[in-house]
């Protein structure tokens, strides 16, 4: 049976839904983030005229957009809120978290973070497979690859392959379903299939896509004459692709810590070599935690010849 495995890393918590040797879905969470389902309190600082929306200053100093405000609520009033979507960083702008007023008698909403078994280390290679696929924003298909691009308006999936348009489109469907779950995508998603000339071909791809996404809550348009399909799904926070688009160095720094924590060997010193750009992202408290977890002195070295995504770690004598 599929099972969520959770690895509590340094600077991030990772979760994989695993069935046998397959990864079905992945999630990542960073400390201090407001996540969907969190209960918070704050003061309504702005109520937008002609709408039921406003801005609240939360007790921790962050702001949230509040929707579905009761008509009786006024500016300056303290509110109990539930987060419906985490804050999102996008190229050139920052979107505040979204929230609604929490009903006093309502049960606590689902957090969006899976319940699972905490493990010291995820199965070998599984997180790396997801991470590097998200880093390249692509997945292979038998005849080519799919490319996934995040924009402020929507996430777009492009398909590139060799074969007839029908063959390429059908070959891409399993990879599209995998990308949606691996990368934690939501919101508006456009899929640009090769142009299919006949209604039968378009119907065949629509049916295959519907079957592949049967367990993924969403709404979907039928394929138009240009091969375009639009999906709409609940967006609860930044996808792994959003994080790569806006925080690639931060993700690479966390990967470096994971690689260092898993280094094996004998000796008192753990040497971590990274691209110089990562040095400023490796917080002192993270390095202290790395030393505590490994029981070794951590020595940080920089090497401009290393790629951001290719740190290395080894145990040395001194």
What's the domain range around 44?
A: 39-101
Give the global pTM: 0.89
- Do 224 and 256 lie in one domain? The reply is no
Residue 207 lies in a domain: yes
Rounded CA gap, 233 and 77, in Å?
33
Residue 258 lies in a domain: yes
Residue 24 lies in a domain: no
Please give the DSSP secondary-structure letter assigned to residue 110: P
Sheet with 297-302, strands from edge to edge, namely 297-302, 269-274, 312-316
- Do 196 and 282 lie in one domain? The reply is no
pLDDT of residue 313: 96
- The total domain count for the chain is 3
Please give the DSSP secondary-structure letter assigned to residue 113: S
Residue 23 lies in a domain: no
pLDDT of residue 105: 61
- Do 87 and 132 lie in one domain? The reply is no
Q: Which of 198, 233, 268 is the last residue of a domain?
A: 233
Rounded CA gap, 223 and 199, in Å?
9
pLDDT of residue 104: 67
According to DSSP, the β-strands at 155-161 and 22-29 are unpaired
- Do 214 and 172 lie in one domain? The reply is yes
- Do 179 and 215 lie in one domain? The reply is yes
- Do 190 and 221 lie in one domain? The reply is yes
Rounded CA gap, 174 and 152, in Å?
25
Q: What is the CATH number of the domain that holds 227?
A: 3.30.1710
pLDDT of residue 111: 62
Averaged in consecutive runs of 10 residues, what is the pLDDT profile of the chain (318 residues)? 96 96 95 89 92 93 93 92 88 85 68 87 96 96 94 92 94 97 95 94 96 94 94 92 94 97 93 96 96 96 96 92
- In Å, how far are 81, 240, 264 from 41, measured between CA atoms? 6, 28, 45
Q: What is the CATH number of the domain that holds 93?
A: 2.40.50
pLDDT of residue 88: 86
pLDDT of residue 94: 84
């Amino acid at each position: 049976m599929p099972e969520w495995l959770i690895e509590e890393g340094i600077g991030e918590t990772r979760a994989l839904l695993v069935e046998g040797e397959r990864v079905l879905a992945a999630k990542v969470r960073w400390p201090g983030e407001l996540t969907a389902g969190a209960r918070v309190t704050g003061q309504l600082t702005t109520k937008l005229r002609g709408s039921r929306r406003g801005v609240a200053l939360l007790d921790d100093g962050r702001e949230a957009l509040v929707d579905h405000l009761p008509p009786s609520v006024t500016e300056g009033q303290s509110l109990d809120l539930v987060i419906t979507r985490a804050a999102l960083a996008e190229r050139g702008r920052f979107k505040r978290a979204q929230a609604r007023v929490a009903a006093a008698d309502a049960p606590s909403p689902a957090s969006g973070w899976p319940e699972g078994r905490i493990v010291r280390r995820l199965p070998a290679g599984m997180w790396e497979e997801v991470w590097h696929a998200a880093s390249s924003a692509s997945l292979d298909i038998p005849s080519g690859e799919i490319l996934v691009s995040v924009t402020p308006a929507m996430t777009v999936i492009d398909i590139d392959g060799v074969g007839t348009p029908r063959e390429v489109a059908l070959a891409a469907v399993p990879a599209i379903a995998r990308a949606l779950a691996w990368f934690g995508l939501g919101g508006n998603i456009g899929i640009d299939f090769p142009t299919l000339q006949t209604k039968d071909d378009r119907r065949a791809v629509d049916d295959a896509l519907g079957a592949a996404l049967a367990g993924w809550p969403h709404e979907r348009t039928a394929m138009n004459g240009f091969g375009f399909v639009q999906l709409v799904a609940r967006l609860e926070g930044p996808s792994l692709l959003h994080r790569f688009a806006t925080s690639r160095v931060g993700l690479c720094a966390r990967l470096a810590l994971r690689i260092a924590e898993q280094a094996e060997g004998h000796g008192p010193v753990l040497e971590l070599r990274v691209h110089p750009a990562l040095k400023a992202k490796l917080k002192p408290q993270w390095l202290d935690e790395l030393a505590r977890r490994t029981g070794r002195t951590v020595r940080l070295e920089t090497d401009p010849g290393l790629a951001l995504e290719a740190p290395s770690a080894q145990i040395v004598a001194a």
